[in-house]
Structure 1
C-alpha cells in the first residue's frame, strides 16, 4: 500500500511516537509485521512506529492488513494491539484509553474494558466511579432501564435521530450496532434505516409526542427544530475528545450555559414589564450578532482545515 495514502493513527499513546524506537525499527533488516489500517478512513490502527520507520528509510509502500469495522471498534482494536506487542503503553495511556472506551461503550462490564485496555477490573471500577459524577453532570438522561433489564429511550424521537446520524456516518453498520449506539431496539433501528432509504424522516409522524404534525403558520418554531438542537448537543456531549479533556469539558459547560432552545424563553417571560422587554430585546439582538460571528469563525476554521 502506498505510504502517501495512509493517515496518522488515532493513537492511545498520549506522548506520541518514540523516535528512538522508530530509528531502531528502521535499522531492522528482517521483515516487519504488516501494519493494521482502517479501510474506510485509511487511518492507521496499529503500527505507526513501523510506518514512521518506513518513511525514515524513504520507502514508498508498506505492507498492510485492513480492518473494515466502525471507527469506535478500530480504536479498541488499536488499544488491544498495543498492549499485546511492540512498545508498551504507559499506565496513563491505558487508563485514558479505558475512559474513552467506557464513554463509547457504557454498557461494557469492567472486566470487558479491563481486558481491552490492559488494566485490572478493579482499576476500571475506580475509573468508572471517578467519572460517574462528571458524566452525569454533562449527559442528559436519554434512556431508562426497565424492570426487565431492557434499555428503552425516554424519547424515541431522540433515539431515532441519533440512529440516523450514526447510519449517515457508518452506512455499513449492522442493525445491532446501530441499535446499541442509539439506545433503540433492533426492530426500531431497522425501521429507521428503511425510512432513510425511502427518503423519509427517521421519526414517524404522529407516533411520537415530540414529532409535529402537518405544518401550520402559527408563528412558532417547529418541534423538529427543538429536536435538532437537542440531538446536535447530545452528539457534542458524547464526543470523547470533548468530554475527556479539560478544555473540552470547559467548552461544553460554556455552550450548555448559553445555547437557547427555540421557544424556551417563553417559559420565563410571563410578567415581563415593558421597560425590561425593551432592554432584553436589545440584548437578544446583540447576542444574535455575536453568535453569527461565532458561526462565521467556525465555518472559516473548517474551510481552512479542509
Structure 2
C-alpha cells in the first residue's frame, strides 16, 4: 500500500467527497466531531481514495470542517484499488484517532480475509487490531474456509506453508544443534514464523513433540521422538531450571566487575527478574487484567526475542576470546 503520496497535500472541495463504505458501522461520534471543531491548530489532512473520492481516513475531521463552515479540506490521495483502500481505512482507524469498535474490527477482518485470502492470520490481525487467533476463527467460519490454500504471506512479506509440520521439525533440529540461534535466525531457515519457532522451543523444553497433534495428522506422518533441551536424557524440570538461574545470578552478584559498575548493576537487576519459577509466573499471569493481556503478551514476546539476540551476541564474544 505504497500508492499514497504522503508528502503532497491538496485542498479539495468537501462537496466532492464520498463517505460511503466506511469500516465504522456505528457512524459518526458527534461529541468527537464537536471536540475537533474547536481545535485551534490545523488538523492533519484526511486520506481520500482518488478513483472514487471516498474518504478512507478522517471522517470526523471532515465533519468537523463542515461544522466550522469550511468549503475545502486538506487531502492526501491514495491511488490503490478498492480492496486496498478498505484495508488502509481499517488500519488507519485502528492505529490513531477514534478507534473502531471490536465488532467493527472483526467485521473488517472478515472482509479482508475475503479480499486478501493469501494474507496470514497474523498479517490481517496487525491491520485489523484483533488477535491472530480471532482472525483464524473468523477464517474458519468464512465460506470456503481454508480450502485449496497451501501457503500465506506473513507480516514480514515472506510466503510460508499453512501446514508447517516440516518447518517445525527442521526448527527443532536447528535448536537442538545450536540453542544459541535467535528465533528469527531459525525462522528464516525453517520458513516458519518466529512465534512458531518460540512454540517449538517451548515444546522441546517441556519434552513434547515440536509438531502439535493436529499438525501431525494433517501431514500424515508418524510421531518421532522429539529432540530435547536441557541436561541429561530428558528436559530439566522448571523448578530446577529456576534454581539454576538463581544460583548463576548469585555468582554474578559476587563479581566486583559487575557489582561496582553502573552497567553491571543494571545487568544484574535485569537478570534477577528471570530467576523466578514458572509456578510464580503462573500466579502473575493469572492476575493480569483481561484488558491488558494482549499488550502483556506482546511485550513478553518482544522481550523474549530481545534476550535471545542478547544471548547470541554475548556467545559470539565468548567465541572471540576463546
Bucket of the pairwise TM-score, normalised by the shorter protein:
0.3 to 0.5
TM-score normalised by length of structure 2: 0.42
Rg bigger for which structure? 2
